Chains A and B, each alone.
Chain A
Amino acid sequence: MRRRVAQVLTGVVLAVAATRVWSGVPAMARAFTHAEGEGAAAAVQGGHVGFIAEGQSIAADKAATVNLHFRVDPGFHINSHTPKSDMLIPTRLVVAMVAGDPEVTAVDFPVGTPFAFAFEPKQKLDVYQGDVVLTAHVKAAAGQHSLKAELHYQACDQAACYPPKTLAIEQPFTAK
């Protein structure tokens, strides 16, 4: 009987402890946990845009893709790579081509989301909000690699805009 009571109590304590520990983990770190086993995730933050460097693996010596995961802060947006006005600054990615690094042959941008400021509902913009994943096309020999690039973007919220920014990123990946 006592053993059973002890088992139940132990279960309760563990369950509650697990709940408490989980609740204390910040949301960003929680999002990274799925990348465990493929290398640690790291994040860098620019003005209203962050980059989440999740560990990735690709097939060696074959055409493959590496994801570049950006996150725009809630309440903000950045122009897509094809904003619907020649007066707006498009989001661009400049890849650093370093000798010895794998060649990046192309980068695909996701389709933007239609957006209009409340004060200018007729003007439809094309923006990125929330998670934005760019796809880099690479071919790499077996081993550890790193894709270095700069994201050029310009952010706004619902009533104001922020000067154009550059976010330097580094995306590690393994070719197997």
Chain B
Amino acid sequence: MRNAIVGGLIVLVVALLVWSGMHNLRTRRAQEAKARDQQMTIAVDKKGATATTSAEGETIADLRGKPAAVFTLTSNTGKRVSLNDYNGKPVLLNFWATWCTPCKVEMPWFQDFQKKYAAQGLQVIGINEDDDAQSTEVKDQIKKTLERTGVDYTILMSDKAVGDAYGGLDVLPATFFIDRSGKIVAQAIGLASKDEAERNVQKITAGS
């Protein structure tokens, strides 16, 4: 009888420990999965968009289907340029900065698109988001970046308000594909593949 009770207790102990261990493992896995989700910066939600959620869980505005916010900014060569200057043309609008390595990867692609889809009227516009862009140091870095990436499309200097108008950008690169009617057809927050970017260009240049 005594042995049976002790044996039963041992079985109970082992069972409780196994249950506890399994429960802990399940909980830990669930927490890890949640953490992974929160760390995910780039998450494709539907075709045409690259990202919707930043690491802090902030939702990045989905501007697809909305009219592109009109702006007037100064170019790196001192010219005033408005989005309205490109009325009726498809526009690839790319926000970038010199400290953003992924931005510098895709800028040569956009240069290629500018040439490849010139007949369809494509206009590529880059908006530089560096702080203190008027300082000699940053101006030099911008110049160097444009030389290294081979970019000669229009580069405008941000007034910060333009970033707010495009969803309060806190992550770069950010690219908006605007069709001839001035509507945002696709957006990419973070680096997408060149193929995906080109598919979006084809969407806005279609019908030429």
Contact surface of A with B, Cβ cutoff 8 Å: 1, 4-5, 8-9, 11-12, 15-16, 19-20, 23, 47-48, 73-76, 86-89, 117, 119-120, 123, 125, 154, 156-164
User: Given A9-B9, A12-B16, A23-B28, list of 6 further CB < 8 A pairs?
Assistant: A15-B13, A75-B41, A117-B102, A160-B173, A161-B103, A162-B170
Report, nearest first, the 7 A-B pairs whose CB atoms are least far apart.
Answer: A160-B190, A159-B190, A161-B100, A75-B39, A23-B24, A159-B191, A157-B41
- Chain B residues with Cβ below 8 Å from A48 are 55
By secondary structure, the B interface counts as helix
B41 near A163: Cβ-Cβ < 8 Å: no
A-B contact pairs, 20 of them (CB 8 A): A1-B2, A8-B13, A11-B13, A15-B13, A16-B16, A23-B20, A75-B41, A75-B55, A76-B55, A87-B141, A88-B101, A117-B101, A120-B101, A154-B99, A157-B39, A159-B191, A160-B100, A160-B173, A160-B189, A161-B100
Output the nearest chain B residue to A11 by Cβ-Cβ distance.
B13
Note all chain B residues with C-beta closer than 8 A to A161. 97, 99-103, 171-172
Is A160 in contact with B191, judged by CB distance below 8 angstroms? Answer: yes
Flag whether B128 is at the interface (Cβ < 8 A): no
Query: Nearest chain A CB to B186's CB is how many angstroms away?
Result: 17
> Bound complex: CA of A119 vs CA of B105, how far in Å?
8
**In the complex, chain B residues whose CB is within 8 Å of the CB of A88:** 99, 101
Bound Cα distance from A104 to B116, whole angstroms? 57
Report Cα–Cα, A37/B145, bound state, in Å: 52
A86 vs B35: C-alpha distance when bound (angstroms):
33
Q: Is the CB of B131 within 8 A of A16?
A: no
Q: How many A-B residue pairs have CB under 8 A?
A: 107
**CB–CB B39/A73 < 8 A:** yes
Number of interface residues of B (CB under 8 A): 43
Q: Please, which residue of chain A has its CB at the minimum distance from the CB of B8?
A: A5
Give the Cβ gap from B71 to chain A, nearest Cβ, in Å: 19
Among B1-18, those with CB < 8 Å from A are 2, 5-6, 9, 12-13, 16-17
In Å, the complex CA distance between A48 and B129 comes to 20
Q: How far is the CB of B110 from chain A (nearest CB, A)?
A: 15
Q: Chain A's nearest CB lies how many Å from the CB of B41?
A: 5
CB distance from B151 to the nearest CB of A (A): 14
Contact A87 B39 (CB under 8 A): no
Q: Which residues of A contact B34 (CB under 8 A)?
A: none
Contact A156 B12 (CB under 8 A): no
Q: Which residues of A contact B189 (CB under 8 A)?
A: 160
Chain B residues, Cβ within 8 Å of A73: 39, 55
- How many angstroms between the C-alpha atoms of A117 and B101 in the bound complex? 9
CA distance A123 to B129 in the complex (A): 23
Rounded to whole Å, the gap between the CB of A127 and the closest CB of chain B is 11
| Most A-side CB within 10 Å, residue of B98, B141, B189 | B98
Give A74 Cβ to nearest chain B Cβ, in Å: 6
| Smallest CB separation, B187 vs chain A (Å) | 13
Q: How far is the CA of A12 from the CA of B16 in the complex (A)?
A: 8
Q: Is B49 an interface residue (CB 8 A)?
A: no
Q: Closest A residue to B174 by CB, please name it.
A: A160
Most B CB atoms within 10 A — which of A20, A47, A125, A156? A156
A76 CA / B39 CA spacing, docked (Å): 8
Determine the residue in chain A with the shortest Cβ distance to B40.
A75
User: Which of B9, B103, B189 is packed against the most chain A CB atoms within 10 Å?
Assistant: B9
Residues of A within 8 A of B98 (CB): 87
A154 to B206, CA, bound (A): 39
